[in-house]
Amino acid sequence: MADFSIDPAFQEQLDWIRKFVKTEVEPLDLAFAGEDMVYNKASAFYEEAIRPLQQVVKDRGLWSCHLTPEYGGQGYGQVQLAYMNEILGRSQFGPTVFGNQAPDSGNAEIIAHYGTAEQKAKYLEPLLDGRISSCYSMTEPQGGADPGVFTCSAVRDGDEWVIDGEKWFSSSLRYASFLIVMVITDPDVAVHKGASMFLVPADSPGIEVVRNVGVGQEHDGHGGHAYVRYNSVRVPADHLLGGEGQAFAIAQTRLGGGRLHHAMRTVGAVSRCLDMLCERALSRTTQGELLARKQATQEKIADSFIELLQFKLQVLHAAWVVDQKGGHGARKEIAAVKVATPKVYREAVLRTMQLHGALGVSNEMPLANMLMASVTMGIADGPTEVHKFTVAREVLKDYSPAEGDWPSEHLPERRAAARAEYADLLERSVADL
Ligand SMILES: Cc1cc2nc3c(=O)[nH]c(=O)nc-3n(C[C@H](O)[C@H](O)[C@H](O)COP(=O)(O)OP(=O)(O)OC[C@H]3O[C@@H](n4cnc5c(N)ncnc54)[C@H](O)[C@@H]3O)c2cc1C
């Protein structure tokens, strides 16, 4: 039986998070916006403004809730994380303050899962403690959605591996202490079997940042996504993460939960859009009446509310399926959420922008940035088209071809079968006429 009630003790935590984010975290978004502030853990700002807030979160028992207690987290299930991330999604600093900022959260998950004791001590512990940042370096300039075109490779040389090649959109590299790099280690087999992952210290000789790429209207060179070249970068053999050829299994572990977490935070962003939309509708007057009284506005509000509700339920359901069956068993639901996320977000932003007129598209509202964020949701972690393919493939697994020449819903065939079943009764009814 479906039950949408929330355990009172957890509701108390959610109420606390909501208040804390509103009063302590959201002001940081306004006073200190920007990639640098969120990711640069070596800055004085981070030390003075972020760390004390992180300590409050730790004391409250809400730090890195996506991780198991063994790694200092709370071991929350995905449904609990969905409610929590919805609140954090309203603030740029929210995930950082609560210890579940991408890409560190996903990177921590895979080191926890596949790392050796030494790798965990060297990379995972300071990462979990929020002392260092990390980077995930997989996409290449010639393609991201199709790993079959990847060429960045590593060759074994004694006790070391030597990495050569290029990667594209390696987010937050400029603040990272280490990178997780996916490379081809066996070019003679299919990429799904011949790719491996390495933990690479960011100060390794040979790592060349060609440039940092920005999104939207970020200034040249100030973006957070590195175009990076690996020029014979040497890493010790014990820096292989998992086994040789295991990169794809590792990547799936990383993306399962992470993909949903973006969607959970998007629920928060979409509900923020609805708040702005409704406030505007009740505040702005045109032709002698409030915008809220115009039918066209009411349609916007209804559509935004309905889509938010549908999306939130979809995300919660997918989270529940992950809790029941694990990420692999929830492939269809996760991919379906990935398809819905940019669409619902974009439509919500566009309606809210429209109702704000010139102000809506100006840089005095958060909406233009939100619009760009909605578009990136359809590209980062794989394009929408690829997720649609996954949904269709998984849905089709529950079906089989029609028996014979006609569809199973073909009415003449079904009618003939039904009539044959009720032949006696039909005969008697006709006789009674
Ligand atoms: C904000 C942001 C952050 C990112 N961070 C990282 C990161 O930290 N590390 C990292 O390694 N990568 C990162 N990426 C890269 C991201 O993973 C890739 O952009 C993504 O996998 C798509 O690859 P691509 O950009 O090369 O597009 P392509 O693979 O060239 O695809 C381009 C377009 O072609 C179409 N297309 C592609 N495949 C198909 C298909 N099978 N069927 C139909 N149409 C298709 C889609 O419209 C797609 O958008 C990030 C991207 C963004 C936007």
What is the rounded average pLDDT of the residues 292-304?
Answer: 98
Is the whole model's pTM more than 0.85, yes or no? yes
Which amino acid residue places its CA nearest to atom 2 of ligand 1?
A: 380
Mean pLDDT of 99-128: 92
Q: Whose CA is nearest to atom 8 of ligand 1?
A: 171
Q: How far is the CA of 155 from the centre of ligand 1 (A)?
A: 26
C-alpha to C-alpha distance for 179 and 235, rounded to whole angstroms:
11
Q: What is the pLDDT of residues 175-193, one digit of tens each?
A: 999 999 999 999 999 999 9
Distance 168 CA to ligand 1 centre (A): 10
Asked if pLDDT for residue 255 goes beyond 70, the answer is no
Looking at the CA of residue 172, tell me the nearest atom of ligand 1. Answer: 8
CA of 382 to the centre of ligand 1 (A): 5
The rounded distance, in Å, linking the Cα atoms of 8 and 38 is: 32
Pairing between β-strand 153-157 and β-strand 133-137 as defined by DSSP bridges: unpaired
Q: Please tell me the distance from the alpha carbon of residue 121 to that of residue 87, in angstroms, as a whole number.
A: 32
Q: What ligand 1 atom has the least distance to the C-alpha of 171?
A: 8
End-to-end, the C-alpha distance of the chain in Å comes to 47
32 or 359, greater pLDDT: 359
CB of 170 within 6 A of ligand 1: the answer is yes
Task: Give residue-wise pLDDT tens across range 119-129.
Answer: 999 999 999 88
Class of residue 293 by CB neighbours under 10 A (exposed 0-12, middle 13-18, buried 19+): middle
DSSP 217: T
**pLDDT grade for 97, boundaries at 50, 70 and 90:** very high
**Which residue is closest in CA terms to ligand 1's atom 37?**
145
Mean pLDDT of 342-350: 98
Residue nearest to atom 46 of ligand 1 (CA): 383
Residue 191: per-residue pLDDT? 92
Contact 56, 20 (CB under 8 A): yes
- Residue with the smallest CA separation from ligand 1 atom 49 is 383
Buried b (16+ CB within 10 A) or exposed e, 238-269: ebbbbebbbbbbbbebbbbbbbbbbbbbbbbb
Note the pLDDT tens digit of each residue in 152-179: 999 999 999 999 999 999 999 999 999 9
Nearest CA to ligand 1 atom 23: 144
Best residue among 38, 166, 169, 182 to mutate for probing ligand 1's pocket (most ligand atoms within 8 Å of CB) is 169
Q: What is the mean pLDDT of residues 23-39?
A: 86
CA-nearest of 6, 7, 13 to 59 is 13
Instruction: With cut-offs at 50, 70 and 90, classify the pLDDT of residue 256.
Output: low
Could you identify the residue written with the tokens 């439509």? Answer: 347
Compute the average pLDDT of residues 209-229.
Answer: 90
Give the nearest ligand 1 atom to 103 CA. Answer: 8
Q: Say if ligand 1 is within 6 A of residue 216 CB.
A: no
Q: Is the peptide bond before 103 cis (omega within 30 degrees of 0)?
A: yes
| CB-ligand 1 contact for 379 (6 Å cutoff) | yes
Decide whether any atom of ligand 1 lies within 6 Å of the 385 Cβ.
Answer: yes
Q: Is the CB of residue 214 below 6 angstroms from any atom belonging to ligand 1? A: no
Q: Please state, in angstroms and rounded to a whole number, the distance separating the CA atoms of residues 196 and 241.
A: 8
Q: Report the separation in Å between the CA atom of 145 and the middle of ligand 1, taken as the mean of its atom positions.
A: 5
Please report which confidence band the pLDDT of residue 204 belongs to, taking 50, 70 and 90 as the band edges: very high
- Which of 134, 171, 391 most suits a substitution to test ligand 1, by most atoms within 8 Å of the C-beta? 171
Kindly state the average pLDDT of the residues 289-313.
98
Give the pLDDT mean for 372-391.
96
126 touches ligand 1 (CB under 6 Å)? no
- Does an H or E element contain 184, and which? strand 176-184
Note the pLDDT of residue 276. 98
> What mean pLDDT comes out for the span 281-306?
98
Cβ(136) – ligand 1 distance below 6 Å: yes
Whole-number average pLDDT of the chain: 94
pLDDT value at 130 more than 90: no
Q: Is the pLDDT of residue 207 over 90?
A: yes
Q: Given pLDDT bands bounded at 50, 70 and 90, which one contains residue 72?
A: confident
Q: What average pLDDT score do residues 290-295 get?
A: 98
CA of 379 to the centre of ligand 1 (A): 5
Nearest CA to ligand 1 atom 9: 170
